[in-house]
């Protein structure tokens, strides 16, 4: 079933939002989130070739007091280390793929959305995983002691940073779910008839 022109228009607009999100997410991952996975000799010493990455993380920590980014010997929750690995094995490849797919460089289709069913399924899984991991981080951050984060920093961290990330991931998950639902429940769809 072909989507209505209203849903095509909203899909096209949302695809542009997702493209911007993924295009911004890639350098954030590479320059902030994934840095602890790089060899320390590349970014920790004052003379390291990628020292600017250590400086960027230090600026982020000073500005937002995000305790997930506190360097050792501080203890970072084990789940956050796992979430960082998820960024490496799920977020980074999906983000690179999504930028290619949504920018049109991997498709010659002229349809309003460059995503097909399998692509929507990938982004649904990505969106759900991102909602869950972000919500876990927000819940943990909400309870950080005032000795390590000011009220202003907490509000900024939970709303502008994690909150906006959560909102986009939620929108993505709901949008992909509704797109997939339209695909499988449309009139004339053999799969939909078998399910009834």
Q: pLDDT, tens digit, for every residue of 114-124?
A: 899 999 999 99
In a domain, residue 191? The reply is no
pLDDT at site 114: 85
Task: Convert the pLDDT of each residue in 62-85 to its tens digit.
Answer: 999 999 999 888 889 999 999 999
Contact 29, 92 (CB under 8 A): yes
**131 vs 3, residue with greater confidence:** 131
Please count the structural domains in the chain. Answer: 1
Residue 48 maps to a domain: yes
Does residue 193 lie in a domain region? no
Structural domain includes residue 44: yes
Q: Is residue 192 part of a domain?
A: no
- Residue 73 is predicted with a pLDDT of 80
**In the predicted structure, residue 7 carries a pLDDT above the cut 90:** no
What does the pLDDT read at residue 121? 97
Contact indicator for 149, 67 with CB cutoff of 8 Å: yes
Domain around 64: 5-185
User: What would the mean pLDDT of 8-31 be, rounded to a whole number?
Assistant: 91
DSSP state of 67: G
pLDDT at 196 over 50: no
Distance of CA 68 to the CA centre of its chain: 17
Domain-located, residue 148? yes
User: 121-134: b or e for each residue (b if 16 or more CB lie within 10 Å)?
Assistant: bbbbebbbbbbebb
What is the rounded average pLDDT of the residues 38-50?
Answer: 96
> Who contacts 194 (Cβ-Cβ below 8 Å, separation ≥6)?
none
Percent of the chain scoring above 90 in pLDDT: 79
Specify the DSSP class assigned to residue 189: -
Q: What is the mean pLDDT of the chain?
A: 89
What is the reported pLDDT for 188? 65
Has residue 190 been placed in a domain?
no
Distance in Å from the first CA to the final CA of the chain: 17
The pLDDT value recorded for residue 9 is 62
Q: What does the alpha-carbon distance between residue 51 and residue 37 come to, in Å, rounded to a whole number?
A: 14
Query: Considering the domain boundaries, does residue 161 fall inside one?
Result: yes
Could you tell me if 114 and 104 are in contact, meaning their C-beta atoms sit under 8 angstroms apart? yes
């Amino acid at each position: 079933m072909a989507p209505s022109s209203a849903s095509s228009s909203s899909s096209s607009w949302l695809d542009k939002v997702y493209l911007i999100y993924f295009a911004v997410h890639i350098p954030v991952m590479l320059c902030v989130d994934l840095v602890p996975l790089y060899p320390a000799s590349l970014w920790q010493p004052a003379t390291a070739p990628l020292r600017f990455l250590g400086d960027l993380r230090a600026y982020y920590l000073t500005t937002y007091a995000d305790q997930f980014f506190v360097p050792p010997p501080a203890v970072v929750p084990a789940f956050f280390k796992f979430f960082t690995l998820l960024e490496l094995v799920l977020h980074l490849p999906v983000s690179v793929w999504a930028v290619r797919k949504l920018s049109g460089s991997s498709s010659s289709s002229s349809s309003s959305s460059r995503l097909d069913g399998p692509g929507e399924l990938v982004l649904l899984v990505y969106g759900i995983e991102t909602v869950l991991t972000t919500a876990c981080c927000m819940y943990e951050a909400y309870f950080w002691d005032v000795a390590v984060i000011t009220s202003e920093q907490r509000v900024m961290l939970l709303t502008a940073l994690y909150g906006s990330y959560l909102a986009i991931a939620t929108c993505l998950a709901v949008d992909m779910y509704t797109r997939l639902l339209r695909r499988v429940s449309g009139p004339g769809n053999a799969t939909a008839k078998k399910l009834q």
